[in-house]
Structure 1
Amino acid sequence: MLAYTTYSEAGGVGKTTLASNLADAHSQHNRDVLAIDLDPQNGSLTYLLGVNAHRDDGDADNIARHLIDRPKGDFEDLIHETQYGFDLVPSHNMLENLADLLGRASSMAEDLGEEFERHDQLRQVLLEAGIPDQYDTIVVDPPATAGPHLYNAIGATRSLVIPLEPTGKGIQSIEGLRDVVHGFEKTVGVTVGVLAVVPNGVGRTTDQQRYLKRISELGYDAPVAIGERASLFEGCWSEQTTAFAYVDEYRSRKRDHEMETLDQLRDLAGHLEEVRA
């Protein structure tokens, strides 16, 4: 099974956009795909896909309740079918307090003499629900900042796909990536692999081409480099849809550079599938 977390140290580099489009591309490859949104921000995967999840309903069952072992129903009931051929576990406002909730649950378990690994909860929830037997691919999209959302995502998937802006700042983050991954491994207690680095917004400047070469020199796999596609990806957020659906439904004329980008996303999905085959 293929499972990975989309991760970036900084916001605004296309992490959630990449997650949505990879989930769509995997689905086009006839894979059973589950996307999990662990980001409590309003601009999350749930919002981008236009899923009405009643995230502000405090009485509703949601992913946060399952992570602290206080569910109100079966995990399968959280799963929404999307129009893109893949499923989604949506975000919920209760995730904003996940650190505190996990801390309380851990303290209660300790008082009762029970085990509770706060960074292993998502993996346990997925295993108990039989999710690895139902899906070929799991894509988890947490917030960019370090914390229980990200740690649970990494604990469940053990793998990262990392979008990157080919700038000096972006390359600096990649040069320090080994230390970041090592920190995750120490915190979560698992071995973490980087499946791919995905340069996004690539131009033809000498500096940007030098940055792409540097990614390879550092030993990271960058199967595709996506060009500057602000119009396409901003349109996705405006219409709350994936890039594939946006081009199909909202472009009266197919633009060659956008069609190339869609092919790159399919190629990237196929590459990730082969890596974990």
Structure 2
Amino acid sequence: MLTYTSYSEAGGVGKTTLTANLAKAHVERGHDVLVIDLDQQRGCLSHLLGVDDNRSDPDADTIVHHMVDRPQGEFEDLIRTTEGIDVIPSHDSLEQLDDWLTKAGDYQATTEDEDWEYPRNEQLRRVLRENDVPSQYDVIIVDPPATAGPHLYNGIDATRSLVIPLELTGKGDQSVEGLEELVAGLEAQLELEVGVLAVVPNGFKGTSDQDTYLDTVDELTYDVPVVLRERGSLFEGCWRQQCTAFTYVDEHRSRKRDHEMETLEKIRSLAAHLEAEAGLKGGDDK
């Protein structure tokens, strides 16, 4: 089984676009895939994949209700399916996840010993385990916001692994330099070992400055299996049509463009690399 959280401490690096397309690549390779969208922002994966129509419904059951042990329905009813990808969509209630977890902890503390501490960062994993989700999927991906907090921490606790997109700029270079420190900090915060399955330089344009930053990335102890070139037109089209790049090329392009097909193949290659890291066989080899 393959589980990972897509995370970058910097916004605007294509994290959500990469996550959606990796999910589709895993599906193409014959796997059952669940993506859990914990990003409360409007430009989230649920919007990209067109499954965010209930995000403002105050009466909707949400992943937050289940994480604080107050479900309003069955867990399986949270799931929406698009392009073969099962998605637990984002909801406005995620904006109050921190407060909801605090209240849930305070309530449960009344029935526990005084030294008991509410495991607020373990609630997503609890929900997945209690609903037997790991036995139903080959791949589980969590897409949290690009900020530290209970969304990120619950995602990492549930998956124990990261895929980290990076921008090849001066700002991104600072992220590269602090990457190992960042991971160590997450491990200390959560008191568990966090694996980095891949670092993915994104938006590469081939400038001399970016070549310099790419050399820095190559010095990382983490795997850098692919470098994704800048594909603004392709990925902007995905957001406009609310679909993955694979569907966009198949259904919304009048002709196949070689450079876009190359990008799709790199995403497939990245998906295969992540599966291999987890010992997950693809396609007919399952």
For the criterion TM > 0.5, the same-fold answer is yes
Q: Which residue in 2 is equivalent to 1:20?
A: 20
CA distance, structure 2, for counterparts of residue 91 and residue 233 of structure 1: 21
Q: Which amino acid aligns with 1:44?
A: C
- Contact in 2 for aligned 1:53/1:90 (Cα 8 Å): no
Given the superposition, is the C-alpha separation of residues 53 and 129 from structure 1 closer, same or farther in structure 2, using an over 3 Å criterion?
A: farther
CA distance, structure 2, for counterparts of residue 74 and residue 64 of structure 1: 13
CA distance, structure 1, for counterparts of residue 220 and residue 200 of structure 2: 14
- Contact in 2 for aligned 1:33/1:87 (Cα 8 Å): yes
- Contact in 1 for aligned 2:176/2:216 (Cα 8 Å): no
Q: 4+ residue runs of structure 1 moved beyond 4 angstroms?
A: none
Matches within 5 A, 1:92-171: 92-113=91-112, 116-171=118-173
Unpaired segments ≥5 residues, structure 2: 280-286
Q: Which amino acid aligns with 1:272?
A: L
Per-residue deviation, 1:10? 1.1
Given the superposition, is the C-alpha separation of residues 178 and 52 from structure 1 closer, same or farther in structure 2, using an over 3 Å criterion?
A: closer
- Percent of paired sites with the same residue: 61
CA distance, structure 2, for counterparts of residue 52 and residue 16 of structure 1: 14
CA distance, structure 1, for counterparts of residue 7 and residue 28 of structure 2: 23
Q: Which residue in 2 is equivalent to 1:78?
A: 78
CA distance, structure 2, for counterparts of residue 133 and residue 193 of structure 1: 21
Task: Write out per-residue CA displacement over residues 88-137 of structure 1, whole angstroms, 9 at most, x where no aligned residue.
Answer: 00111111000011011111111121763100000110011101000000
Q: Which amino acid aligns with 2:4?
A: Y
Per-residue deviation, 1:53? 4.1
CA distance, structure 2, for counterparts of residue 116 and residue 152 of structure 1: 13
What SS does structure 2 have at the residue aligned with 1:120?
helix
Q: TM-score, normalised by structure 2?
A: 0.94
- Contact in 2 for aligned 1:39/1:149 (Cα 8 Å): yes
CA distance, structure 1, for counterparts of residue 278 and residue 168 of structure 2: 26
Q: Which residue in 1 is equivalent to 2:211?
A: 209
CA distance, structure 2, for counterparts of residue 169 and residue 220 of structure 1: 19
What SS does structure 2 have at the residue aligned with 1:163?
strand
- Contact in 2 for aligned 1:154/1:192 (Cα 8 Å): yes
Q: Which residue in 2 is equivalent to 1:60?
A: 60
| Number of residue pairs the alignment of both structures matches | 276
Q: Please say which of residues 15-24 and 56-65 is displaced more in the overlay.
A: 56-65
Q: Which amino acid aligns with 2:60?
A: A
What SS does structure 2 have at the residue aligned with 1:198?
strand
Task: Write out per-residue CA displacement over residues 130-169 of structure 1, whole angstroms, 9 at most, x where no aligned residue.
Answer: 0100000001100001110000001101111011111121
What SS does structure 2 have at the residue aligned with 1:139?
strand
Q: TM-score, normalised by structure 1?
A: 0.97
2:246 pairs, out of 206, 229, 244, with 244
Q: Which residue in 2 is equivalent to 1:44?
A: 44
Q: Please say which of residues 70-79 and 208-217 is displaced more in the overlay.
A: 208-217
Q: Is 1:219 the counterpart of 2:211 in the alignment?
A: no
Task: Write out per-residue CA displacement over residues 163-199 of structure 1, whole angstroms, 9 at most, x where no aligned residue.
Answer: 1111121121121111111111122221111111111
